[in-house]
Structure 1
Amino acid sequence: LLFVVSQLILSVGGFGWGPLAPFLKKVMSLNSTQIGLISSGFYLTASLSALPGGIVVDRYGVRTGVLFWIGITGIFLVVLSFIQNYAFFLIFVALSGIGYGMGNPVASKGLFMWFDPQTRGAVFGIRQAAVTAGGAVAGVLLVFISERMGPYIAIRTVGVIIMIMFIICFFFYHDPLTRRDMHGKQERGKKGKTKFKSLVNNKPLLILSIIFALLGLSQGIVTTFLLLYANEKLGYSLIASGSFLTIAMISGAAGRILWGVISDRIFYGARKPVMHIIAALATLCSIGLALWEAYWPQWLFMPFVVVVGMSCIGFNSIAVLTAAELSEKDNTATAVGLVSTIAWGGLFIGPLFFGSLTDHFGYFYSWMTLAVFSLICFSLCFFLSVPAYET
């Protein structure tokens, strides 16, 4: 429960750049490239902190990671809410991303220790659903606050809530299996370098990282630009556009649970078929967004956005779970951190790349370029080798 609630709250901040985009664009006089750079800066440092965060969690425990994860993110978001200079704004966005990037290895290690393989798909899905549920809350809450009090108050509100969660975790959260962790601490210190080398040489893990990064392109772009796209290209109001982003986020949350259940129950723990389905849907959705016209009916756009959310945002739980299962149990957080470091390169590059393409060539060519990358991701899934557990 703590992981789910913490992830939901932090994701309001992590996915807040899309809902805040039109307000920051107006207040700070920014173009699409500069808006993309805000999100990219956040995910750049998140990607760089994922691997060190995983190493910290494997060596010092989940509790330490939880406090770093929540505390660093919250304090820098609070400071960020007082900064109006764009250059300094980017710096503190990046600093808050350092904490946020620890989320995957921290939560994955904790859940991996508590649940067996037959239930991990659903459990990881529920935790990952909190990521996009937070994005859905951001699509409504941050737009509501920004319209009435401005984007800086919206950022400050999120930062304060995160710091309240930090205080709760500090006093009430303790690691499971404490004695076992203490017994294994010296061994982990001695074998850490060998285990890290084995992860780097793990070809399935590296292929998964590339697939994760390509799908991350879709996630970063959709969460940053779907609201702007619906408002600027399709002509919907900011409230309606924010609602579409919320629908996409809720669908992504549902997808993260659904894909885990499908993998556990229909494919008996096989992750590869689900990855293929997700990559195929992401490709089709990117093409659909490129071809969509403003005069097409709104009722048709809503179910389409649901599919966009389930594929472009809902993939994360299966990818993270697969990374955990491709590693040894006491090296889980480091493995997830390594994959996240590579994968979040997509979240970092995507918004900046897409924003630049949009400024120069428009939305059509930008979405079609994303479709090409999604198709490459689909092809790479054929080369992915993942373990199957006994049922």
Structure 2
Amino acid sequence: MNSQTQQKIPRRRWGIGALLGVGVLINYIDRIGLSVAAPQIQDLFKLTGFEMGLLFSAFAWSYAVLQIPVGMVIDRFGPTKVGRWGAFLWGVASTITAFSSGFAGIFFARVLLGIAEAPAFPVSAKATGYWFPRSERGLATAIFDAAAKFSNVIGVPLVAVTVVSFGWRWGFGLTAALSFIYFFAFLTFYRDPTADKKLTAIELNYIQQGGAAAEGKAESGAVNMLAYLLKQRKVWGLTIGFAAYGYSFYLFLTWLPGYLVQTMHMSILKSAGYAAIPWVVATITDLFVGGWLIDHLIARGHNESKVRKSVLVTGMLFGLAVFGATQTVDPVWAIFWISIALGGLASAAPVGWSLPSLIAPKGGAGTIGGIMNFVNNLMGAAAPIVTGYIVGATNSFINAFFVAGVILAIGIVSFVFVMGKIEAISDPK
């Protein structure tokens, strides 16, 4: 298809991509609210570092446990229905958090939030597979993945100002309002391509002819598909590698503001400003390296598998810069090393999230995404607890960052030697 023809193709798919990105943005502002409000909550309820670690990880427990069942449900009912119910429950969970009166209430609300947000990323990954040809999958995936990073750029300061000005309960009231607004937006605008009356025939043909994932259920059934995929080496290579990414991501997501307050002796507002810097870097590398650069190189004729694998592994290697943060007590240098680490990890993340729809047999993308995100979030649940335990025992983040670096190295080995070439798994017989 020549460039003149491409210019005439409508761009409704990019509106859907933006909608999914806004959803993930709000999704992560919901999640990080506790990190920002943690000093006030810990002081008010006299909680230990270990108890705060439990609160930080409570979300990840229910979120992780539901990933595989949610992936199967999405493959069965589609992203439209599942996405609507999930978005509605985000607001409910945040509202309950705002009215909690102690450790038990907040813990319950965080578990509920994990249940509510479990479908968010698998829905976005599957919907992106439906709506975008393979040649645009990198940037389309980067839009919603970068939103997770950008949430820390605008979400942390926004929630911090609200918490400092009005108290921690109003911080969660803010996230509840944002969640309900998104629910109505998703309810109004999202449909799968073949059900979207505003999608033109020419754009639908462009999407489908470009290798978009086929809509519909797996012919073998959800349970059979799960059993089949669990036997695939490629699935486990992806899963282990992405879980290593998830450990470091959740460590920074939950403990970075606390690290700056405790180790660098900053106020809540100052720590929020400093903490935003690595997430700005991560947002940029996510969009331009993990998104635009990959699509650009593939469009120029470079091998698709090699391009995606190179960005994936190189990004993980840059993540090892977390070791640099163990060697300084200067906040400027600490943020420098953490920015390099997060920037590298962010460039790799869209590749990871694009892989389920690229390697899945028909009807299996949601299930692969569920398997991948299940193990990823088990590591996400472990990261804040392990970090809290290490910090409590040593009064230092040095060993916590060292553990994250070792786990990243294991993930790199899995991507390179276990996952293999990025290509579709054959359909189950």
**Structure 1 length normalisation: TM-score?**
0.91
Post-superposition CA distance 1:349-371 (Å, at most 9, x none): 10111111110022122211222
Gaps of 5+ in 1: none
Aligned counterpart, 1:372: 406
Aligned counterpart, 1:137: 154
* Counterpart Cα distance in 1 of 2:331 and 2:108: 41
Matched residue of 2:420: which SS? coil
Verify the 8 A CA contact 2:256 2:275 in the aligned structure 1. yes
Aligned counterpart, 1:330: 363
Aligned CA distance change for structure 1 residues 358 and 56 (closer, same or farther; 3 Å): same
Q: 2:73 aligns with which of 56, 65, 75?
A: 56
* Counterpart Cα distance in 1 of 2:319 and 2:65: 26
Aligned counterpart, 1:385: 420
Post-superposition CA distance 1:41-68 (Å, at most 9, x none): 1011111222222222221122112112
- How does 1:283-362 map onto structure 2 within 5 Å? 283-285=320-322, 287-293=323-329, 296=330, 298=332, 300-361=333-394, 362=396
Matched residue of 1:30: which SS? coil
Verify the 8 A CA contact 1:250 1:309 in the aligned structure 2. no
Aligned CA distance change for structure 1 residues 59 and 189 (closer, same or farther; 3 Å): farther
Give how far 1:38 is off: 1.6
Aligned counterpart, 1:276: 313
Give how far 1:309 is off: 2.4
State which drifts further: 203-212 or 234-243: 234-243
Aligned counterpart, 1:205: 235
Verify the 8 A CA contact 2:246 2:376 in the aligned structure 1. yes
Query: What one-letter code is carried by the residue in structure 1 that aligns with 2:77?
Result: Y
1:163 and 2:199 matched: no
Aligned counterpart, 2:4: none
Aligned counterpart, 2:268: 238
Aligned CA distance change for structure 1 residues 17 and 277 (closer, same or farther; 3 Å): farther
Verify the 8 A CA contact 1:244 1:302 in the aligned structure 2. yes
Q: Whose radius of gyration is greater, 1 or 2?
A: 2
Aligned CA distance change for structure 1 residues 39 and 288 (closer, same or farther; 3 Å): same
Q: CA RMSD in A?
A: 2.2
Gaps of 5+ in 2: 1-17, 197-207, 209-213, 425-429
Verify the 8 A CA contact 1:212 1:319 in the aligned structure 2. yes
Q: 1:260 aligns with which of 291, 298, 302?
A: 291
Aligned CA distance change for structure 1 residues 84 and 268 (closer, same or farther; 3 Å): farther
* Counterpart Cα distance in 2 of 1:326 and 1:213: 18
* Counterpart Cα distance in 1 of 2:191 and 2:370: 21
1:218 and 2:278 matched: no
Query: What one-letter code is carried by the residue in structure 1 that aligns with 2:416?
Result: F
Aligned counterpart, 1:10: 27
Post-superposition CA distance 1:78-100 (Å, at most 9, x none): 11110022012101111111121
Query: What one-letter code is carried by the residue in structure 1 that aligns with 2:414?
Result: L
State which drifts further: 166-175 or 354-363: 166-175
**Structure 2 length normalisation: TM-score?**
0.83
* Counterpart Cα distance in 2 of 1:111 and 1:47: 21
State which drifts further: 135-144 or 166-175: 166-175
Give how far 1:218 is off: 0.3
* Counterpart Cα distance in 2 of 1:231 and 1:29: 17
- How does 1:75-86 map onto structure 2 within 5 Å? 75-86=92-103
Aligned counterpart, 1:101: 118
Aligned CA distance change for structure 1 residues 217 and 174 (closer, same or farther; 3 Å): same
Aligned counterpart, 1:153: 170
Verify the 8 A CA contact 1:58 1:334 in the aligned structure 2. yes
Give how far 1:104 is off: 1.3
State which drifts further: 269-278 or 258-267: 258-267
* Counterpart Cα distance in 1 of 2:280 and 2:303: 26
1:34 and 2:51 matched: yes
1:91 and 2:128 matched: no
* Counterpart Cα distance in 1 of 2:397 and 2:335: 19
* Counterpart Cα distance in 2 of 1:265 and 1:34: 47
Query: What one-letter code is carried by the residue in structure 2 that aligns with 1:105?
Result: P
* Counterpart Cα distance in 2 of 1:375 and 1:173: 39
- Give the length in aligned residue pairs: 382
* Counterpart Cα distance in 1 of 2:164 and 2:71: 38
Query: What one-letter code is carried by the residue in structure 2 that aligns with 1:27?
Result: L
Aligned counterpart, 1:116: 133
Higher relative contact order (CA 8 A, sep 6+): 1
Aligned CA distance change for structure 1 residues 327 and 358 (closer, same or farther; 3 Å): same
Matched residue of 1:330: which SS? coil
